[in-house]
Each structure stands twice: as C-alpha cells, then as structure tokens.
Amino acid sequence: MTDPLRIAVAGLGTVGAGTIELLHKHADSLTLKAGRPIVVTAVSARDKSKDRGVDLSGARWFDDAAVMAGEAEADVVVELIGGEDGPAKAVCDAAIGAGRDIVTANKALLAIHGTELARSAESRELNIGYEAAVAGGIPIVKAIREGLAGNSISKIYGILNGTCNYILTEMRQTGRAFDDVLAEAQKLGYAEAEPSVDVDGFDAAHKLALLASLAYGAEVDFGGVYIEGIRAISPVDIEFAETLGYRIKLLGSARLTGQGLEQRVHPCMIDKDSAIAHVEGVFNAVVASGDFVGDTMFEGRGAGAGPTASAVVADLVDLAAGRRTPVFGLPAPQLQPLARAPMEAHVGAYYIRLTVADRPGVIAGVTAAFKDQQVSIESMLQRGRSETEAVPVVITVHETSETSIRRALESIGAMDGTVEPPHMIRIEPL
C-alpha cells in the first residue's frame, strides 16, 4: 500500500471534531476511494483538556496551530479555526511556507485573502481545498469548477446562509417578527450569539465572492459585493409577498453585465412557484446557468458538523488521490481583476412598503414622486383604513434603475404624510 496522506487538523470544534469522526467512521472505504489511508498525525485547538468526543490518541498535540502547520509531520494542514485573519491566516501562511497543501472551511478568510493565498500556494505547486467553505455539504465548488467547466456561466445565485433562510421560513410559517424568531434560533443553536455575520448578509457575501470567482475566472472581490441583510423584513412584507405571489429569500447572485461583475446579497421577492422558493429552513441551494447545460440547481444542508465534514473529507480524498485543480478553476495568475458593476446601475422591478397617514393628498404625492423619476407603478395595495393611525401601503413598480427608485424613495421619505422611512425589496426574475 502507498504511504498514508498525513493531515494536521487546526481547530477541533464543530467541524474539526466532525471531520475526525467521519475519517474514523469511514476509514476503510476512504482508503479504497483515495488509494491510500488518510491519517490524522497532529491536532491543535485552544483547550487541550476539552473532551472532543473523538479519538485523538494517534495525533500529536500542538498548543500553537501555526507552529503545527509549519512543523508537524503532515502533508496537508486542515484549517478549521475560522476568522478572516488571526490564527487561521497564520496557519495557512505557515502551511504554504512549509510546503503543505491546505484544506479549509473558512469562507471569511478566502473571501478576503483567497486570490493572494491561491497565488502563493500554486506558485509552490500546492493546493487549497475549500469545498466546505461554500454552502456546507453541497459539493458546489467541484460542480462549478469541474462539472460545469465546459460552460460559460450566465448567472449564479443561491440561498447561501442557513440561519437567514431558517429565520425567513419561520417568520412566514408563524407570522412572528424577526427579533422573536432570531431569539428562538439562537436558543436552538441555528444562530450565533453574535448574529451579525449571518443576518446582515456578510456570510452569504463571503460565499458569493468565492462562487463568482469560480464562475467568472475573476479575482475574489469581496469588497465588490453589495450587501443587505434581513433585519428590516417585517411580517407585513411576508404577508404582502404571499398576496402578490412571491416569497422572500436572502439571495446572493452574481453575473457579468456590460459594466463588469455584479455581485449582490440582499432580500429578494421571488416567484413562490420557483424551485428555489421551496428551499426552506436551514437548507441552502445554488442555481448556476450555463450556455450548454442550461439551469442546474444544487440543494442540501449548508452547515452542521456532518455536512461540513463531508465536504472537508471530499477535498482530502482528492488530495490523497492526487486530483488537483487550480484553486479557483483557472491558474491563479490568470484570474482577472474584473470591474465592479455599480449597484446604482442595477435595473429591476421593486416592491415598496410605505407607512403613511391615511388622508387625502398623500398618495397623490407618492405617485408624483415616482412620476418625477419616470418610475412606472404596477400595483398598489393598502391594508386597512384609519383616520388616526398610519397604514401600510404597498406598491410594486415596473423595471427601473436603482438610482431612480432610490431618488423617488428619498423624496417620499421626506414627505409630510410619511410616518416611517420607505422600505424596498427587489423583485428578482429568476
């Protein structure tokens, strides 16, 4: 039998322990698939005394993960610490410096340093596997990079954050408000105590930046992603969406426009009969459209010990078997620094919720503000009537530019009868 693939695991939390458990449980079949055993020779975490629920007896313990990455007897360093800089980055730099391949689940790190790390690794003929970093257990990196290599990708979009999808699903099914559902998700372990990275869209944006690089041969450009989270979505929006035939999802989408690469993460109204509208709860899904293949959709669990370990181990099997592809599909020096298509240039239809005083002249002012920006109204709905309280009025408008809609909403927001700032959700034709 050939030599084992020796791996050093940095981080023994949810994903680290899950990965080691999977490697033990399926050791025999993995050896057959990889052509050689995959053996954990070294591990590192913060607390040596913590019971990880997995057998670490054959592995050397390192207090310092970066030292381990540089010095352990290992062919591959598996970085499962997390964070865009700090120890995770130090581990990757040390691994590359010592001539070891990397496998990581760390989307934040790659979204910021992906191009630089890929260049540095590939210049030393090393590889970085990151299947687990995008949509957890869904093998979407391999699907785009290898399975769809023959296509020119016209668009790629998806539900990339399970926490947000869980919250939006619960809000729709129970009619409860965002804060209430978030608190419950935190209790259930579906949301972090500090939820901002998820609910404000950053995690989805990290993943989108990686998908866009793979799909378009671009340098990873996290800074070019337009990001809006789901905090402003109210039960009223969800109710109106149903009435209008839509469902609200946080989508990440990327495509090439005449002005460059458009990368957006924001809540979208999507046709409630579309396949992706039915992806509920903590599930993720990605749709990629290629010129030869047409639409493809991938769905599965985007997080959790099992699904994420499944993806980490897939990368390890590839390395053990000697299957190597450039990190982002093209050799790193060929990745293009694409221009950013500005969000202001985005064209689409919009859903707008106004909270206005129910008195004569207010709606006339609203329609005049749209007319001034040449925005054409498609429909208008009002729920309830009240002489004393403000009422929600929902307007959908035909395709217009982001600039026009923002200008119209600015002047509506400044009007006398407007009680709350106008709220807008983009309607996404899929």
Ligand X SMILES: NC(=O)c1ccc[n+]([C@@H]2O[C@H](COP(=O)([O-])OP(=O)(O)OC[C@H]3O[C@@H](n4cnc5c(N)ncnc54)[C@H](OP(=O)(O)O)[C@@H]3O)[C@@H](O)[C@H]2O)c1
Adjacent-strand bridge partners of 197: none
Q: Exactly one of 5, 8, 40, 44 binds ligand X (CB under 6 A); which one?
A: 44
| Residue span 14-33 as binding mask against ligand X, x where in contact by CB under 6 A, dash where not | xxx-----------------
Question: Which residue number, 190 or 246, has a Cβ lying nearer to ligand X?
Answer: 190
Helix axes 402-413, 362-372, angle to 10 degrees: 150
- Is 13 a binder of ligand X (CB under 6 A)? yes
Q: What sections of 133-250 are H helices per DSSP?
A: 140-142, 162-174, 178-188, 196-199, 202-216, 235-244
Query: H or E stretch including 402?
Result: helix 402-413
- Is 422 a binder of ligand X (CB under 6 A)? no
207 is catalytic: yes
Q: Exactly one of 31, 106, 169, 418 binds ligand X (CB under 6 A); which one?
A: 106
- Is 87 a binder of ligand X (CB under 6 A)? yes
- Is 10 a binder of ligand X (CB under 6 A)? yes
- Is 312 a binder of ligand X (CB under 6 A)? no
Report residue 75 as tokens.
């062919």
d(CA 402, CA 426): 9
Task: Kindly determine how many residues on this chain lie close enough to bind ligand X according to the rule CB under 6 A.
Answer: 25
Report residue 89 as tokens.
């980055």
Those residues whose C-beta lies under 8 Å from the C-beta of residue 15, and which sit 6 or more positions away, are 80, 105, 132, 305, 308, 309, 312
Question: Which residue number, 203 or 262, has a Cβ lying nearer to ligand X?
Answer: 203
Adjacent-strand bridge partners of 247: 270
Report residue 368 as tokens.
């005049």
Stretch that binds ligand X, among 74-82, 170-178, 324-332, 342-350 (CB under 6 A): 74-82
- Is 281 a binder of ligand X (CB under 6 A)? no
What is the distance, to the nearest Å, from the Cα of residue 84 to the centroid of all Cα atoms in its chain?
Answer: 15
Single-letter amino acid, residue 282: V
Stretch that binds ligand X, among 7-15, 120-128, 248-256, 320-328 (CB under 6 A): 7-15
Question: Which residue number, 47 or 179, has a Cβ lying nearer to ligand X?
Answer: 47
CB of 268 to ligand X, least distance (A): 23
Kindly list the distances between the CA atom of residue 194 and the CA atoms of 67, 185, 199, 325, 418, in Å, as whole numbers in the listed order.
Answer: 30, 12, 10, 36, 33
- Is 80 a binder of ligand X (CB under 6 A)? yes
- Is 132 a binder of ligand X (CB under 6 A)? yes
Q: Exactly one of 43, 126, 215, 303 binds ligand X (CB under 6 A); which one?
A: 303
- Is 81 a binder of ligand X (CB under 6 A)? yes
Q: Exactly one of 9, 39, 45, 218 binds ligand X (CB under 6 A); which one?
A: 45
Please answer whether residues 213 and 330 qualify as being in contact, where contact means their C-beta atoms are separated by less than 8 angstroms.
no
Nearest Cα neighbor of 332 from 191, 122, 70 is 122
**Annotated catalytic residue, options 207, 249, 272, 371:** 207
Number of residues assigned to the chain: 430
CA-derived radius of gyration, the chain: 24
CB of 59 to ligand X, least distance (A): 14
Question: Which residue number, 135 or 248, has a Cβ lying nearer to ligand X?
Answer: 135
Question: Which residue number, 44 or 400, has a Cβ lying nearer to ligand X?
Answer: 44
Stretch that binds ligand X, among 8-16, 188-196, 210-218, 266-274 (CB under 6 A): 8-16
Query: By beta-carbon distance, which residue lies closest to ligand X?
Result: 13
Q: Exactly one of 46, 359, 371, 398 binds ligand X (CB under 6 A); which one?
A: 46
Adjacent-strand bridge partners of 153: 290
Query: H or E stretch including 297?
Result: strand 294-301
Q: Exactly one of 30, 54, 65, 238 binds ligand X (CB under 6 A); which one?
A: 65
Question: Which residue number, 14 or 289, has a Cβ lying nearer to ligand X?
Answer: 14
- Is 82 a binder of ligand X (CB under 6 A)? yes
Question: Which residue number, 41 or 308, has a Cβ lying nearer to ligand X?
Answer: 308
CB burial of 159-176 (b: ≥16 within 10 Å; e: otherwise) equals: bbbbbbbbbbbbbbeeeb
Nearest Cα neighbor of 263 from 209, 314, 202 is 209
- Is 417 a binder of ligand X (CB under 6 A)? no
- Classify strands 128-129 and 101-104 as parallel, antiparallel or unpaired: parallel
Catalytic residue numbers? 207
- Residue numbers at the binding site for ligand X (CB under 6 A): 10-16, 44-47, 50, 65, 80-82, 87, 105-107, 132, 136, 303-304, 308
